[in-house]
């Protein structure tokens, strides 16, 4: 069984990623493997009712391609256990924007997983954009990738995990210290 990073820990991945065939065709709902499945958005859109009827939300996830529109899944958050975003190549950063939109604009609170060409160099920034699970590329060391969360202790920019930039956090701390001194 493969492993993933979830909530900064290495855990077994009990989900099966379902991909379109080489010709782009999607599998039929009755052809899906048993257990938890992560289906492409196109299959979800085409077979939403059949998928929901054949499996509970706890066994169903949807993955988005880099050119997917996150609004297309926004009304179905209660019908899926997780949403994954595919990074087909290292240099394709559209998934970061999808994650921020899902978390900040659409209010997605469930598991958000990065899949595809996920490398150590990316996981810290992915975390800052709202991802909480990472399927590190199979040929890379997942134990090394998890160390990336501790590479930096201070973030200058605001992001999903810390909306206020450093200069605002410092100003707030300074104002708080000044008010404590004034009342003492």
101-148 tens-digit pLDDT: 999 999 999 999 999 999 999 999 999 999 999 999 999 999 999 999
**Structure token pair of residue 107:** 């209010």
Structure pTM?
Answer: 0.87
Q: How confident is the model at residue 184 (pLDDT cuts 50, 70, 90)?
A: low
| pLDDT per residue as tens digits for the range 8-47 | 999 999 999 999 999 989 999 989 999 999 999 999 999 9
Residue 182's pLDDT is 66
As a three-state string, the secondary structure of 72-134 is: HHHCCHHHCCEEEEEECCCCCCHHHHHHHHHHHHCCCCCEEEEEECCCHHHHHHHHHHCCCEE
Q: Is the dihedral of CA 154, 158, 163, 165 positive or negative?
A: positive
Residue 180's pLDDT is 67
| pLDDT per residue as tens digits for the range 167-182 | 888 888 888 777 766 6
64: part of which helix (H) or strand (E)? Answer: strand 60-64
Measured distance CA(85)–CA(108) in Å, rounded: 13
Exposed e or buried b per residue across 105-126, where buried means at least 16 C-beta atoms within 10 angstroms of its C-beta:
eeebeebbbbbbbbebebbbeb
Taking residues 90-96, report their average pLDDT. Answer: 93
170: part of which helix (H) or strand (E)? Answer: helix 166-183
């Amino acid at each position: 069984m493969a492993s993933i990073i979830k909530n900064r820990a290495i855990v077994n991945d009990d989900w099966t990623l379902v991909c379109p065939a080489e010709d782009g065709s999607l599998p039929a709902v009755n052809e899906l493997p048993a257990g938890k499945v992560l289906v492409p958005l196109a299959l979800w859109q085409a077979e939403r009712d059949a998928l929901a009827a054949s499996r509970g939300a706890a066994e169903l996830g949807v993955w988005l391609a880099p050119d997917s529109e996150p609004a297309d899944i926004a009304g179905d958050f209660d019908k899926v256990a997780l949403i994954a975003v595919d990074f087909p190549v290292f240099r394709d950063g559209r998934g970061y924007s999808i994650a921020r939109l899902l978390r900040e604009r659409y209010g997605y609170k469930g598991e958000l997983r990065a899949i595809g060409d996920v490398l150590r160099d990316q996981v810290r920034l992915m975390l800052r954009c709202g991802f909480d699970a990472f399927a590190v590329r199979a040929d890379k060391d997942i134990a090394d990738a998890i160390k990336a969360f501790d590479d930096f202790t201070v973030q200058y920019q605001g992001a999903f995990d810390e909306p206020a930039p450093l200069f605002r956090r410092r100003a707030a701390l300074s104002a708080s210290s000044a008010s404590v001194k004034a009342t003492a």
